[in-house]
Structures are given as C-alpha cells and as structure tokens.
Amino acid sequence: MIPQLLIITGLSGSGMSSAMNVFEDLGYFCVDNLPVQLIPSFVHLFERKEFGVTRAALGVNIREGEFLSGFPQIYAQLRANGDLETTVLFMEASDAALQRRYSETRRPHPLGEGRVLESITEERKKLDSIRALADVVVDTSDHNVHTLRAWLKNRFAPESTEKQTEITVVSFGFKYGVPLDADLLFDVRFLPNPYFVPELREMSGNDQPVIEYLEKSDEARETTKRFCDLLDYLMPMYQREGKSYVTVGIGCTGGKHRSVALANALSQHLNRQGFHARVTHRDVKK
C-alpha cells in the first residue's frame, strides 16, 4: 500500500479545523499548522515503518510565514516522490459565508484587524496560486459541521470506493441564493404556497398541516412523482460513474414550506429505493 499524505489548506474560516477533526477520526495521523520547511522531515515518518504511519493529514494555512513562497517547491518535491501519494485539499467559501462566520466567532482575520471583507479578498488573491495546485476543492458555504463531515468521510474514508453514493437533499429559498454545491436544482415556486394561508404561515414543510395542504394539490402530487422518477433514473448512473456525493437542491421562495415538504418526500423515497439519502433544510428557520 502506497502511503498517503493529505495536505489541507484554504481560506481562513472555511472549516479547515473541522476537517482536521474528521481526518483524525478516520485514522489519519494529523498535524496542524506545520511549518512548510518541516514537511520533508515529516515525510520521513513514512520511511520509518516502525512508526506504522501510512496515512497522514497536514494542516497548512496563511498564518505560516513561509507558506506562500515555500509551498509550491515543496509540493513539486512531494509529487516527484513515487513512493508517496500526495493530495492537496483546498477549502473555500463565499465572502458572505466567511463574513458571517467571523461575525459569529468574533475572531480577527489573520491578515489584519481592518474590515473583514478586505482581508478575505486579500487572502483569496494571495492563495490563488495554491488553489491552482489543489487536487480537490470544496466550497463549504452551505455546509454545516455535520454535512461537511459526511462529505469528507465519503470522499476520503479508506472504504469510500465501496460505499454507495451519498445523496443530500437540500431545501432552500431562492431569496437567499441557490446552494453553490448543488448537482441538481429543482424549482417548486409554481406550487400552491402555504405562506398565503394564515393558519399555515408560521408553520413549515415539516408540519403535518402543511404536508396535507400540498398533498391535496394535483400539481404537488404529480411534481413529487415526476421528481422521484427522474432521481430513480439518474442516481444509478451517478453511481456507475463513481460519483461519491450528489446534492439535490429543492427551492421555493423562502425555503420554509414547499421546498421543505418536497425535500422530505424525495429523501424518504430515495431511502425506500435503497439509496443512501439525507435531508437538510438550509433556510427553514430564516
């Protein structure tokens, strides 16, 4: 078995620390904030078989002073090492998502204490050349800790090639933007809107009265059936192509009623058909 080295890098606030926790749980030997100059020394651990290190994950970010100037050369050396499989995972997120995370945590951006957006823009430009080297790029804008964990486990767990395609059905509101990582997008704004029924307005598509309201609509029932038929047709082909992760976005205006109810219905149908599906409601509480 060829030893595997995973280098995790990307934009500050994109979830690199959470990713390191996932890889630690997956059995990787993990080291965070390792100086770039020490990476070659670290690689020697693979040559010392008595240590038993066959999979390792290194976290390197812009806080490490020599990262931008020294990493490309180190990366070229690692690539030239035929006894080591090296993968670079680059993590990023939208400006809005990063700003929100810094606001919630109240942590300063590593590039300075000025306006957060300016620091994010500066860091994004500085990391362009590093991003170009990446083997895998993941946008975490619409991920929470749990969905990011599922994505990483599906992509990097040793047994991932034997696992089924992981399907995530995401309900969302178009007024808040579409999910950036969606492979399939369905718009259900044409269906009857429970928002305009006073007794249903404060409920969501998780509530039985809203579900029953939609089930009375011929259009809603037929739409659900046709979406299910399409997914039944597409998912085996995604699996055949080896796609490990598929995200299906279901959108209505606010992401609270119609999209939630249909996302639940599609997820339940997929699981009944033997697929591995989970559902998440991005905007239901907004």
pLDDT digits (tens, 9 = 90+) for 109-159: 877 766 888 888 888 998 998 899 899 999 999 888 888 888 888 788 765
Task: Compare 47 and 190 and report the one with higher pLDDT.
Answer: 190
Provide, rounded to the nearest whole percent, the portion of the chain with pLDDT above 90: 47
- The rounded distance, in Å, linking the Cα atoms of 245 and 235 is 11
pLDDT at 161: 40
Predicted confidence (pLDDT) at residue 32 exceeds the cutoff of 70? yes
203: confidence class by pLDDT, cuts 50, 70, 90? very high
pTM score of the predicted model: 0.56
Buried/exposed code over 237-255 (b: 16+ C-beta within 10 A; e: otherwise): ebeeeeebbbbbbbbbbbb
